[in-house]
Amino acid sequence: MSVTQSILVVEDQARERDAMVRLLNSEGYRAIAASNRDEACSMIGASIDLVICDLRLGQQDGLDVLKRWRERRPSVPFLLMTAYGDVSSAVTAMKLGAIDYLTKPLKPEELLVLLNRYLPMRQNREQSSSDDFAGIGRMIGRSSAMKEVFEKIHRVAESDAIVLITGESGTGKELVASAIHSLSRRSAAPYVAVNVSALPEALIESELFGYVRGAFTGANENRIGRFHAANGGSLFMDEVGDFPLVLQPKLLRVLETFSFSPVGSNEEQKVDVRLIAATSRNIPEMVTNDQFRADLYHRLNVLNIDLPSLRQRPEDIPELIEYFLKDCARRHLRPPPEVSQDLMEFLTTYEWPGNVRQLRNAIENMLVMGQPNRLTLDDLPKYLSGNPSVEPVRSAPKTLNLHDLERQAIMNALERTMGNRTHAAHTLGISVRTLQRKLKQWGMDAPPQER
């Protein structure tokens, strides 16, 4: 049985948007309309097979939509429309990941040619991926640890209860959240993600709950928050362990009543949102140290999925390497190279403090910088091997506990990057803020000189 393919149309002009929707529906597609950047980005978690987006969305830029879709849903083809015949913008869009562009006014036959070209390609690629690799979505693994994770995802997707995803940085917590939403009854509704650690503390309240005009300097108009944007769907709150202690009572009340007041307003808004939270921090320990409210932790920890580190599932590494090589090779328009036995041995025994994210970054680095046909130890990024011509650094002694192993990995990264925290965090596959927090815990918060 054929499945109707869904196309998201992002166009601020109602007449043109409606015309495209009618055309696509008449051709047997399922057209979904969005009139601005926020609406388009709120659909990132929905079942969308292709995006058609105008370059100009009123005062907003369609390239912003492209960037966010490429970050979150890189496998979804993205077509850009422009009425200005702006070749430079089209080139920029192609570099950012757009597969093609159309000039306006659109010619239906040209649009349908592109749809016939790119939608079957994606359908075939996804079918190939599902045949070759075991997992859910972009999560890969046949180990018993990952099979347990996949089973939990299916179970919690049937519920509307709050989910807390725990695990080290780089283990794929956001992929789990996206999979839960996609498998839930809310899959056609918005999926909105927010990373608490990436927001300045002063902006967290207004980002989550919105604000009204005049609430503070610069608030020139009403603005909805992430909770409102996710109404009817799911809100993914990453690094919830970094949520400011002073705001935790308000978050607790929202989770108990699903109502809130925007900043500067006394009027309450009620929303229907399924919260999926994630953290790489040890919240029970934070509760003991009065850094996190116990009642909020218990409210968040209704259903829990704990992700294993890559060290705990080394049998999945060869399959992950194959998957990343194929995926990165496709995006860089080159055939996937072979991997030498010595390199495969190194990659499967390395401790990977940055977990799956760090492994993927290393694979992409070698694919771009290494030999085109066969990757060897000589192609390893310097931050992994030090000097590939000598015996590779093997895993840390097994007598080290996880805390010591983590500290050793961070110290080694700082040494290799000559104290540059930004570069060290990148090599570890963690955020700079996470690195700074670890150093502060160890009494090493005086910033070194960046080089």
Q: Is the pLDDT of residue 437 over 70?
A: yes
Contact 399, 392 (CB under 8 A): no
pLDDT the model gives residue 155: 92
φ/ψ (deg, to 5) at 123? -60, -45
Crossing angle for the helix pair 87-96 and 62-72, nearest 10 degrees?
Answer: 20
| Sheet hosting strand 191-195, strand order edge to edge | 191-195, 234-238, 274-279, 163-166, 303-306
- List the structure tokens of 19: 């015309």
pLDDT the model gives residue 180: 92
Residue 437 domain-assigned? yes
- CA distances 223 to 38, 57, 201, 233, Å, are 11, 17, 18, 19
Same structural domain for residues 287 and 336?
A: no
pLDDT the model gives residue 386: 47
Same structural domain for residues 275 and 175?
A: yes
Same structural domain for residues 58 and 164?
A: no
Burial tier of 313 (Cβ tally within 10 Å: 0-12, 13-18, 19+): buried
pLDDT-derived band at 393 (thresholds 50, 70, 90) equals very low
Averaged pLDDT for residues 339-357: 91
Domain count, the chain: 4
Residue 390 domain-assigned? no
Residue 397 domain-assigned? no
Residue 451 domain-assigned? no
CATH number at residue 100: 3.40.50.2300
Averaged pLDDT for residues 332-346: 89
Averaged pLDDT for residues 405-411: 79
Contacts for 382 with CB less than 8 Å, ≥ 6 apart: 388, 416
Domain boundary among 276, 306, 336: 306
Contact 140, 320 (CB under 8 A): yes
pLDDT, one tens digit per residue, over 358-387 is 999 999 999 999 988 999 999 998 878 543
Same structural domain for residues 119 and 170?
A: no
Domain boundary among 306, 327, 356: 306
pLDDT the model gives residue 90: 66
Residue 191 Cα to chain centre, angstroms? 12
Residue 89 domain-assigned? yes
pLDDT the model gives residue 156: 93
Domain boundary among 132, 158, 185: 132
Same structural domain for residues 355 and 223?
A: no
Contacts for 433 with CB less than 8 Å, ≥ 6 apart: 197, 198, 242
Same structural domain for residues 55 and 163?
A: no
Q: Is the pLDDT of residue 246 over 90?
A: yes
Which range among 99-103, 202-206, 282-286, 291-295 shows the weakest confidence by mean pLDDT?
A: 99-103
pLDDT, one tens digit per residue, over 6-24 is 899 999 999 999 999 998 9
In terms of residue numbers, what domain contains 242? 137-306
CATH number at residue 437: 1.10.10.60
Q: Is the pLDDT of residue 324 over 80?
A: yes
Same structural domain for residues 74 and 127?
A: yes
Crossing angle for the helix pair 402-416 and 432-441, nearest 10 degrees?
Answer: 120
Residue 447 domain-assigned? no
Contact 242, 277 (CB under 8 A): no
Same structural domain for residues 198 and 108?
A: no
pLDDT the model gives residue 448: 42
Q: Is the pLDDT of residue 42 over 50?
A: yes
Residue 407 Cα to chain centre, angstroms? 26
pLDDT-derived band at 447 (thresholds 50, 70, 90) equals very low
pLDDT the model gives residue 129: 45
* DSSP letter (8 states) at residue 230: T
Contact 218, 180 (CB under 8 A): no
pLDDT-derived band at 416 (thresholds 50, 70, 90) equals low
* CA nearest to 205, candidates 273, 251, 265: 251
In percent, the amount of the chain with pLDDT more than 70 equals: 86
Burial tier of 300 (Cβ tally within 10 Å: 0-12, 13-18, 19+): buried
pLDDT the model gives residue 130: 44
- List the structure tokens of 159: 């519920």
Same structural domain for residues 202 and 244?
A: yes
Strand ranges inside 293-429, DSSP E: 303-306, 338-339, 374-375
Residue 113 domain-assigned? yes
* DSSP letter (8 states) at residue 107: P
More confident residue, 322 or 425: 322
Residue 395 domain-assigned? no
Mean model confidence pLDDT for the chain: 83
Same structural domain for residues 247 and 334?
A: no
CATH number at residue 357: 1.10.8.60
pLDDT the model gives residue 358: 92
Which range among 57-66, 245-254, 383-392 shows the weakest confidence by mean pLDDT?
A: 383-392
pLDDT-derived band at 224 (thresholds 50, 70, 90) equals confident
Same structural domain for residues 280 and 238?
A: yes
CATH number at residue 176: 3.40.50.300
Q: Is the pLDDT of residue 85 over 60?
A: no
Same structural domain for residues 125 and 154?
A: no
pLDDT the model gives residue 442: 78
